[in-house]
Structure 1
Amino acid sequence: MERIPITKAGYDKVKKELERLKTVERREVVAAIEEARGHGDLSENAEYDAAKERQGMIEARIGELENKMGRFDIIDVSKLAGDKVIFGATVTVENIDTEEQKTYKIVGPDEANISQGTISIMSPLARSLVNKKVGDEAIVQAPGGEIEYEIVGVEFK
């Protein structure tokens, strides 16, 4: 069984989503199905069909999260330190061509959100940075071609 790395904060977020799905959304969709049943003929009842479809989506997500919860490998980032890029590191990189700097935290695939500055350990950028230090260069294969970065900072926070 493949383990899935995740930070403690990411695990707590997934756990909270699972609780909400089971306690709130499941109840809401059951109530919506009951209400739609009260409207008569189910064969031509769009509300009923939509509620049943929503129920299926909720149950599928619950199943997916429960499966992952058992495979999560929770990593306490507050206990990490060092000068190498590893899971949980916050890395500042500079594009060598444009001199633009960006900072990313390397997290598990279930908590990555580029708009919040987190990238998956499985992403091409993170893979190219892992085990490198400040001053090292990393080449990333992007759809538009290769991008070369220099690591300008590594911290754990």
Structure 2
Amino acid sequence: MSKALTQNTVDEDEDEAAGGGLTALPAGTRNYITPGGHARLVAELEHLIRVDRPQVVAVVQWAASNGDRSENADYQYGKRRLREIDRRIRFLGKRLDLAEIVDPRRHAGCEQVFFGATVAICDEQGRENTYQIVGVDETESARGRISWVSPLARALLKSRVGDTVRFRSPAGWREVEVLVVDYSVGET
């Protein structure tokens, strides 16, 4: 195998790792994303390009002008940080190129669950939770945003208010009832 092929494989793996904990897209699926999620990724990319990268480049240039680079921590750290920023920029660029923006508001008033819906559910123990079904690049479990490819979201998709859906969780099979489907909840 040529060195070029080996290097490309490593770069792709590093780009995926640069995702900052983002889930890899399942093979053959689209990268659905809400307008708010798309805006956040674009803002992060712009910030990296216009603010973070120029600051780090300035530090690296200053550190390089100080002489011996082999023992210059500012230079070595700066170069490492610059590689991380460049990997993240490449990753975000690829994800945004593949992004298909889906505005959940087009389903306003609908009682069926589609991408972007905020769904209130009740589990077997009577506990109620609310989740918004979003793209893989915008999941935040602490804020109730779950990926549309997660087992719960897959089970909820196309269900209606009053339906009971069954899905396989890490703890085994579970059932939840759909209580409310809302498309008016804005993203913050």
Q: Deviations over 1:90-130 (max 9, x none)?
A: 1001111x211001111111111111121110111101111
Separation in 1 of the partners of 2:67 and 2:164? 66
* Residue of 95, 112, 117 corresponding to 1:84: 112
Amino acid across the alignment from 1:64: F
- The question of whether the paired residues in 2 share the 8 Å contact of 1:8 and 1:74 is answered with yes
Query: Secondary structure at 2:70's aligned position in 1?
Result: helix
Which residue of the partner structure matches residue 67 of structure 2?
40
Separation in 1 of the partners of 2:85 and 2:128? 40
RMSD of Structure 2 on Structure 1 (CA): 1.4
- The question of whether the paired residues in 2 share the 8 Å contact of 1:2 and 1:71 is answered with no
- Normalised by the length of structure 2, the TM-score is 0.78
Query: Is 1:130–2:157 an aligned residue pair?
Result: yes
Q: Which runs of 5+ in 2 are unaligned?
A: 1-27
The count of corresponding residues between Structure 1 and Structure 2 is: 156
Q: Which runs of 5+ in 1 are unaligned?
A: none
Separation in 2 of the partners of 1:17 and 1:89? 24
- Report matched runs for 1:8-157 at 5 Å: 8-81=35-108, 82-96=110-124, 98-157=125-184
Q: CA deviation at 1:2?
A: 5.1
Identical-pair percentage: 38
Q: Deviations over 1:49-102 (max 9, x none)?
A: 111111011001111111111111111222223221110111001111x21100
Q: Which of the pair is proportionally richer in strand?
A: 1
- Normalised by the length of structure 1, the TM-score is 0.93
